[in-house]
Structure 1
Amino acid sequence: MSLKMTRDELTVFLDREFPQVKGDFAIEEVGDMRVRVRLVVADKHLRPGGTVSGPSIFALADVAVYLATLAMIGPKAMAVTTNCSIDFMRKPTAGVDLVAECRLLKLGRTLSVGDVLIFSEGMEAPVARASLTYAIPPK
C-alpha cells in the first residue's frame, strides 16, 4: 500500500476536524504503516506532582494510531477506536514533550491494529506502550 495522506495533509485534517486539540500534537514523520507524533506538553497535560497525566499519554497513543491509519486509507474522520490496552511503565520527565512511535501491525478493510511506544524526550526507555484497534468506516 502507498501513503494516501502526507504529514502536511494530516496536520491540516487534524486541525480542521479536531480544533479542540490544535497545537497539542505535532506530526514529525509519516511513512508506510508508521508515524511519529509529539505531544507538546503544557500545564493542561500535567497531573499533581508535575508529571504528564495518564489520559494525556492515552490521547497521544490514540492520535498516533488514528493518524497512521489515515495516512494509509485517506481522510476518514469517522474511523474510531474499538480497543486499547496501555501499559504505563515509568514516570515521564516533568515538563518535557512526549514522542509516540507508532507502527501499524495490520491494516485490513474494516480494522487497523497498531502498536505504539511512547518516550519522554531525552529518555532512552519508553514511558508507555499501547496497542490499539481502529474500526474503519465502510466506503
Structure 2
Amino acid sequence: MTLAMNADELMEFMAAEFPQVAEQFRIENLTPESLTVRMPVSDRHLRPGGTVSGPSMFALADVAIYLLVLSRIGPKALAVTTNCSIDFMRKPAAGVDLLAEARLLKLGRSLAVGEVHIHSEGVAKYVARASLTYAIPPER
C-alpha cells in the first residue's frame, strides 16, 4: 500500500491545523504499516510524583493513530476519535521521551481501528497500550 502523506507532509499539516500541540510530537518512523511518534517529555507532561500524566499519554496515542490514518487517507482534518480504551501498565522512566508505535488493524471507508503501544525511550516494556477507533469523513 502506498502512503497518501509522508512524514514531512503530516507534520506540516499538524502545524497548520493544530499549532497548539504540533510542536509536542515528532514522527520518528513511518511505513505503510506503522508509525512511531516521539513525545519529548517536559515539565508540562508531568504529574505529582514526577511521572508522565495519563492525559499526556492519551494525547500521544491519539495523535499517533490520527497521523497514521491521515498517512493513508490524506489531509482530512475532520477525521475524529470515536472511541479510545487505554491501559496504563507501568510508570514511565523518569526524564526520558515516550515513543508510541501505532498500527492500523482496519481501515475502512468510514472507520479506522488501530492500536498503540507506548514505551519510554531505551526501555522495552510498554507503559501503556491503547485501542482507538476513528471516524473518517465521507468524500464530497
Normalised TM-score (structure 1): 0.98
Q: Which runs of 4+ in 1 moved over 4 A?
A: none
User: Tell me, which stretches of 5 or more residues in structure 2 are unaligned?
Assistant: none
Q: Which amino acid aligns with 2:26?
A: A
2:10 aligned with 1:2: no
Q: CA deviation at 1:53?
A: 0.2
What's the Cα RMSD here? 0.7
In 1, the alpha carbon distance for the partners of 2:2 and 2:107 equals 12
The answer for the alignment partner of 1:113 in structure 2 is: 113
Q: Which amino acid aligns with 1:9?
A: E
The answer for the alignment partner of 2:34 in structure 1 is: 34
Q: CA deviation at 1:22?
A: 2.7
The answer for the alignment partner of 1:135 in structure 2 is: 135
In 2, the alpha carbon distance for the partners of 1:60 and 1:69 equals 14
Percentage of identical aligned residues: 68
In 2, the alpha carbon distance for the partners of 1:27 and 1:43 equals 21
Check whether the contact 2:11–2:22 (CA below 8 A) recurs between aligned residues: no
SS, match of residue 123 in structure 1: coil
The answer for the alignment partner of 1:61 in structure 2 is: 61
SS, match of residue 118 in structure 1: strand
Normalised TM-score (structure 2): 0.97
User: Tell me, which stretches of 5 or more residues in structure 1 are unaligned?
Assistant: none
- The aligned length equals 139
Q: Which amino acid aligns with 2:40?
A: V
2:47 aligned with 1:47: yes
The answer for the alignment partner of 2:15 in structure 1 is: 15
